[in-house]
Amino acid sequence: MNDQPTYEQLRGRLNELLAPCLAQDWPNMPAAWAEGVYVYDRDGKRYLDFLAGFGACNAGHNHPRIVAAAREQMQHMVHAPAGVMAHEPMLRLAHELGSVVPGGADMFFFGNSGSESIDGALKMARYVTGRSDLIAFLGSFHGRMLGGTAVTASKVSYRRGHGPHLPGVHFARFPYPYRSLAPSVDACVDEVLGDLDRLFEYVVAPEDVAAMLVEPVQGEGGYIFPPRRWLQSLRDICDTHGILLIFDEVQSGFGRTGEWFAADLYDIEPDVVCLAKGIANGFRLGAFGARREIMSRWGAASHGTTYGGNPMACAAALATLDVIREEGLLENAQEQGEYAIEQLRDLKAESSIVGDVRGEGLMIAVEFVKPGTERSPNPEAVRRILDRSLEEGLLMYPCGHWTQTIRLIPPLSITRAQLEEGLDIFRRAVLVDS
């Protein structure tokens, strides 16, 4: 006799079976399968996925070449603890990443997630510099583990109740030209750079700082693209004081901005780069890399992993790199992204609640404001627009400090027709509120 509960019964017990931080998220749709740019629910309804698994499935869901590579590896070896077993997919992936990761990174550590990448990079920075302190930026998101939480400042809800946090972490402002009170972009940059001057004058000596950790494009904080001069100034400050510059490219990497990495948009070379999400198109893998002269000083037994560098995930990552190159996904992200931003700026001209449209490639954000105000955030409109869009078959997700922004991050393989279909659904949902 089969007394197992049905899916409907299990979903009805969502709040009993899962922690509130999972069960009370949105929309908890009854997803059954996915392919390309689409996700299907258990009734067969099709949704355009403009979230792409939080930017993990850059090549599209269940890409056949990537799935085949992982399946083939599964026939040979499912698990191989790194350090005990030196399997070929991990070594080959480290070799291949060296050709695309910025900053001359040619030595890598593999983990399972972006959070692990951040924590490992921070440990390494302290170890190799012999310094204790870290500088991060307001609006940042660097993961949910204890180390990542300590350097995250996009919302206080991510930090509340988890203290005391990692000591020696200091925050400065990140340039946000749309919401700056400064009279110009240059003045905005000067203003936030002043935070670092004050930190070094009043709070922490620069020779005690191991690393600056920054997202070259803030993700959870609202898809904020900083002026290049600010990032170049960070590079110059780090060079002056012997501080490691760590780029968190977990969400912006592997073609999301139309370049391999956001660092390539700015032509800035970091010392350390943290990777995850799009690295293996949905398979569980994280990594961080640095130049050999830096990482080789991180001694044996100073860090480790059981599941990091999983053979199947590494095989999937190698196939992902091939797909991005051979199927022209960087070029498609640039082309479709330019079209999407043009259409969204036309929508801004029609709508009193669209405050800002920004993006590069297919890393795009629309920020919403309350009409008749001085850019007052409008999270209520965001929720209504997300709900309406979902009803019409378009999945998106918010971001921003006040949850006032909607991110549009479809797979980089999206076609013009698919993009137009999604933008049309989004436009109708926005204009109802306008």
Is residue 420 predicted with pLDDT exceeding 90? yes
Pairing of strands 209-214, 133-137: parallel
How confident is the model over 219-267, as pLDDT tens digits? Answer: 999 999 999 999 999 999 999 999 999 999 999 999 999 999 999 999 9
How far is Cα 328 from Cα 123, in angstroms, rounded to an integer?
36
How confident is the model over 72-121, as pLDDT tens digits? Answer: 999 999 999 999 999 999 999 999 999 999 999 999 999 999 999 999 99
pLDDT tier, 390 (very low <50, low <70, confident <90, very high otherwise):
very high
pLDDT at residue 15 in the model? 95
Domain 64-326 has CATH 3.40.640.10: yes
Mean pLDDT of 400-415: 98
How confident is the model over 181-199, as pLDDT tens digits? Answer: 999 999 999 999 999 999 9
Measured in degrees and rounded to the nearest 5, phi and psi for residue 248 equal -90, 100
Mean pLDDT of 202-207: 98
**For residue 250, what are the CA distances in angstroms to 117, 178, 216, 230, 276?**
9, 24, 10, 20, 5
**For residue 78, what are the CA distances in angstroms to 40, 71, 73, 162, 354?**
28, 10, 7, 35, 48
pLDDT tier, 3 (very low <50, low <70, confident <90, very high otherwise):
confident
How far is Cα 329 from Cα 424, in angstroms, rounded to an integer?
23
Q: Which of 320, 277, 316, 319 is nearest to 78 (CA)?
A: 316
Whether 222 and 399 have beta carbons less than 8 Å apart is answered as: yes
**What is the CATH number that goes with domain 7-59+328-433?**
3.90.1150.10
Mean pLDDT of 136-157: 96
pLDDT at residue 434 in the model? 81
How far is Cα 112 from Cα 121, in angstroms, rounded to an integer?
14
pLDDT at residue 246 in the model? 98
pLDDT over 90, % of the chain = 98
How confident is the model over 311-349, as pLDDT tens digits? Answer: 999 999 999 999 999 999 999 999 999 999 999 999 999
How far is Cα 248 from Cα 237, in angstroms, rounded to an integer?
18
The token duo for 322 is 């091939």
pLDDT over 70, % of the chain = 100
Mean pLDDT of 420-430: 98
How confident is the model over 102-114, as pLDDT tens digits? Answer: 999 999 999 999 9
Residue whose token pair is 């999983």: 310
How confident is the model over 257-308, as pLDDT tens digits? Answer: 999 999 999 999 999 999 999 999 999 999 999 999 999 999 999 999 999 9
Q: How far apart are the first and last CA of the chain?
A: 56
pLDDT at residue 216 in the model? 98
Residue ranges covered by each domain of the chain: 7-59+328-433, 64-326
pLDDT at residue 322 in the model? 98
Strands (E) located in 276-384: 286-290, 354-360, 363-368
The token duo for 57 is 């499935």
pLDDT tier, 6 (very low <50, low <70, confident <90, very high otherwise):
very high
> Whole-prediction pTM value?
0.97
Element (H, E) at 349: helix 329-350
272-289 core/surface letters (b: 16 or more CB in 10 A; e: else): bbbbbbbbbbbbbbbbbb
